[in-house]
Each structure stands twice: as C-alpha cells, then as structure tokens.
Amino acid sequence: MSHTVEILSVGTELLLGNIANTDAQMLSQGLSELGLNVFWHTVVGDNPRRAREAVSLAKKRADIIITTGGLGPTCDDLTKNVLAEAFGKKLVFDEGSAERIRSYFQRTGRPMTDNNLQQAMLPEGCTILENDWGTAPGCAFEAEGVHVIMLPGPPSECRPMFQYRAKPYLLSLSEGVIASHTIKLFGIGESAMEARLREQMNTMSNPTLAPYAKEGECELRVTAKAASSEEAQSLLQPTVAQVRRLFGDKVYGVDVPSLEYVVIEGMKTKDLTLGVAESCTGGLMAKRLTDIPGASQAFKGGIVSYTNEIKQNVLGIPPHMLERYGAVSQEVAAAMAEGARRVLSCDVALAATGTAGPDRDDWNNEVGTMFVAISTLRGTHVRPLHLGSRPMRERLRTQTASHAFDLARRYLSGLDFEN
C-alpha cells in the first residue's frame, strides 16, 4: 500500500515569515526515506476556521496527516481541538502526560501556569507520543482510514519527536524495516554526479538512490526496505560498494556528518594536531572545525591573517615574498601553512588565501581566485582554485574552506592530494 502524506503546519509566525518551515523540510526528508509520498505542505495561521478547512481538505486527499505546531497554551491547543473535532473525537485528560508536564517545569525551574495542563487533554484512544524535549505531548490515532500524527512546532522538539516517536509509529504501519546509508562526496558537482547515476537511479526500486546537494558538496542516500535489519543491510551494501567504486576517492565517508568531522576524527585517531592560517576564509575554517564537539582533542588553534602585516609579524612570511607574488598566490599559501605549523606547533596546518570579493583585489586577481594549502611532516601541497565570480561571498568562502578540509582528509587517508 502506497501512502500519501500531507504535512499541515499551524502557526501565524510562519505566515508572517518570522521563521521558515524547516519542520516541513525535516519531515519530508524523513518521510521520503520511509518510502512515503509527501504530496502537500499546507500552512495556516492560528485561526480555527482556516485550520478546520485545511483539515477537512487534508482528510479527503491524504491518508496520513502530520501536523506541526498549534499544540501549546499560547494558541489554545488549536491543532488538537480542530483535529479531534474533525474526526469526531473527544479530548480526555491524561494523568500521565500531566505528570510529565509538571515534572518538566520542576526540572527546568520555571513556573507552571494552569493552562500548561491543558496540554494533557488528548484525543480519546490516541497513542500518546511522549515529549522528552518540551512540554506539549504529541499524539497519533487512526480514524476513517486516515492516520493522524500531531507534533509540536519548535524544531528542537519536532525533530526528535519525529525521529523517536512518529517514525516508530509509522514503521509499525508497514511490515518490515527501512534502513539507509548516506554516502558523502567532495570534488564533484551535483549534475555530474547525477549524470553518472541517472539511468541507474531510475531503474532502482529497492534500494533507492537519492542525490542531495548542499554548499558545494554532494551526498547520495541509499534506502532499502526489507523484512529485517539484516536483510535491509544486505540490500544496501552492494549499492554502497558500487557507488564507492564509481566515484573512488571523491567519496569521503559514509554516514558521517561533514568533511570537518572526518578531519577532526581522523586527526584524533592518528593522534595528530591541527592548526589553520586563514586569509580569505577569515575564521570560517576554525569556526567549522570547532563546531565539532570535542574538536579541542585535535585542533590547537588558528591565525586569521587578514592583513599582510599579520602574515609577516605573526605567521613569519618574508615581506619580499608578499611583494613579489602578492598575498593571493601559491607561494604565500604555502608559506602561510608552513608558518601556522611552526607558530602553532602542530603536526598538520591548513591555509587559505584568495579573493572573496565583492571586487578584484589590489593585484587584480579575479573574484574566486583561491589557494588552499596543507603543510605536514612530509612537505607542503597547494591547490589553486578558480571558483568563478558568480557564487556569493559566503558560498566562495565555504567552498574554499571545504577544499582545505579535502586536502586534510586526503592526507589522513593516504590518498593523492589531487586526482
């Protein structure tokens, strides 16, 4: 049976544009991986009439309705009231939920008002989805052939509530299990990747292969459905292996969060220390590396040398080199990496210098001209980049930092720096 899903989000803050509907995105991704077809996203405000109309339409066209938002006391539990009414259900007081709400307030030391307990009123006979990340419980029920799942709106609650509550409920609707792996690639564009896979993707049904692109990186999600976990894994493994063969060392990891994560983990495993010297990226490399909790076990620090003076005085780059080649050059990139390795006394140092725009630099380098470098015990390597002037400043900086991380993960894996 092929399910069709409507995601119905309730919240005036979405219609005012105060926030983007990231809940709908997160849910859509998760539901697609479960093999469910999301056909509609609908957003209405905290308005009972329009919420009722939206629910009555969703009932007719979808067989799974997932709502987000409208569960708290500030909107009088609009969503719960409207959904219960639409399916002819009463709301009944659930003592277990009330107890959880009371203890939540106790734990966080915030005062509880009476209307918080309204959140313990839930549709009769529903499955309660306990909320360990906030106060409003979610719930799920089936009626008139439609499955209804209600989740809280705040993304920090909606995400775990989907992952740990709604997903198991949805999986119980269908026989078998769903498992997936995410293959991460760097150094190939989305369209080039898709072109090499298109035919195959179209003919595959189990497992499926879905491409995603973001911030100059690509990923492929392989998802399989089977009677057991073991069977799902045995469906997945050949495809993962095949993708690895096809894209070779452009694959930087499977089921890993990011390039910088792979770099930090690799450094930790090999007991190496890391430092950075940044010109055009202006702190972004250090920032991304220290986004990883526990980065301090490998990352020692960095120098943001936004002026030639700091390149000379802090990184020790000879003035004649800056004069002869300019700050945006292969030579200075190498000297920055070597300087950082010395000044920060670390095993591996990465450097980036370039022209991030908006205008050409003093040496008339085009926007998008970048050099990233790595310095190690075994020597120094520089990768020149021509990223073009079309991407925005932010994007150029992100891609440049990623290229530097690519050098580091290649070093850690014993791969050639370029292929």
Q: Which residues within the stretch 122-151 sit at the binding site for a second copy (CB under 8 A)?
A: none
Chosen residue from 158, 178, 240, 295 binding a second copy by CB under 8 A: 295
Listed residue (368, 333, 370, 369) closest to 351, CA to CA: 333
CA-CA distance, 204 to 184, in Å (whole number)? 20
Beta bridge partners of 354: 370
CA-CA distance, 331 to 268, in Å (whole number)? 29
Give the residue with the Cβ less far from a second copy, 112 or 143.
112
Asked if 2 touches a second copy (CB under 8 A), the answer is no
CA-CA distance, 398 to 391, in Å (whole number)? 10
| Beta pairing class for 64-68 and 37-44 | unpaired
CA-CA distance, 254 to 240, in Å (whole number)? 9
Non-local CB neighbours of 117 within 8 Å, separated by 6+ positions: 98, 101, 102
Q: Which stretch binds a second copy (CB under 8 A): 23-31, 123-131, 172-180, 224-232?
A: 23-31
Q: How far is the CB of 17 from a second copy (least distance, A)?
A: 3
Q: Which stretch binds a second copy (CB under 8 A): 143-151, 194-202, 263-271, 291-299?
A: 291-299
E strand map for 107-176: 121-123, 127-129, 138-143, 146-151
Token output for 307: 């002026």
Q: How far is the CB of 416 from a second copy (least distance, A)?
A: 29
Residues 76-105 that bind a second copy (CB under 8 A): none
Q: How far is the CB of 253 from a second copy (least distance, A)?
A: 20
Asked if 112 touches a second copy (CB under 8 A), the answer is no
Chosen residue from 99, 215, 291, 418 binding a second copy by CB under 8 A: 291
Token output for 314: 């802090």
Q: Which stretch binds a second copy (CB under 8 A): 65-73, 90-98, 140-148, 281-289?
A: 281-289
CA-CA distance, 417 to 187, in Å (whole number)? 11
Give the residue with the Cβ less far from a second copy, 145 or 293.
293
Q: Which stretch binds a second copy (CB under 8 A): 38-46, 112-120, 261-269, 402-410?
A: 38-46
Q: How far is the CB of 52 from a second copy (least distance, A)?
A: 13
Give the residue with the Cβ less far from a second copy, 122 or 340.
340
3-state secondary structure of 116: helix
Asked if 8 touches a second copy (CB under 8 A), the answer is no
Chosen residue from 209, 314, 321, 385 binding a second copy by CB under 8 A: 314
| Beta pairing class for 127-129 and 64-68 | unpaired
| Beta pairing class for 138-143 and 146-151 | antiparallel
CA-CA distance, 403 to 299, in Å (whole number)? 18
Spatial contact of 68 and 44, defined as CB atoms under 8 Å apart: no
Chosen residue from 113, 228, 393, 417 binding a second copy by CB under 8 A: 393
Chosen residue from 87, 105, 169, 306 binding a second copy by CB under 8 A: 306
Residues 153-192 that bind a second copy (CB under 8 A): 156
Q: Which stretch binds a second copy (CB under 8 A): 27-35, 67-75, 253-261, 375-383?
A: 27-35
Asked if 24 touches a second copy (CB under 8 A), the answer is yes
Q: How far is the CB of 275 from a second copy (least distance, A)?
A: 8
Spatial contact of 77 and 120, defined as CB atoms under 8 Å apart: no
Token output for 227: 């009677």
Torsion of CA 30, 32, 36, 38, to 10 degrees: 100
Residues 40-79 that bind a second copy (CB under 8 A): 40-45, 47, 50, 54, 57
Residues 204-263 that bind a second copy (CB under 8 A): 210, 212-213
Chosen residue from 83, 197, 243, 289 binding a second copy by CB under 8 A: 289
Residues 331-370 that bind a second copy (CB under 8 A): 343-345, 357-358
Task: Walk across the sheet containing 177-185 and list its strands.
Answer: 208-214, 217-226, 177-185, 251-254
| Count of residues that interact with a second copy, criterion CB under 8 A | 74
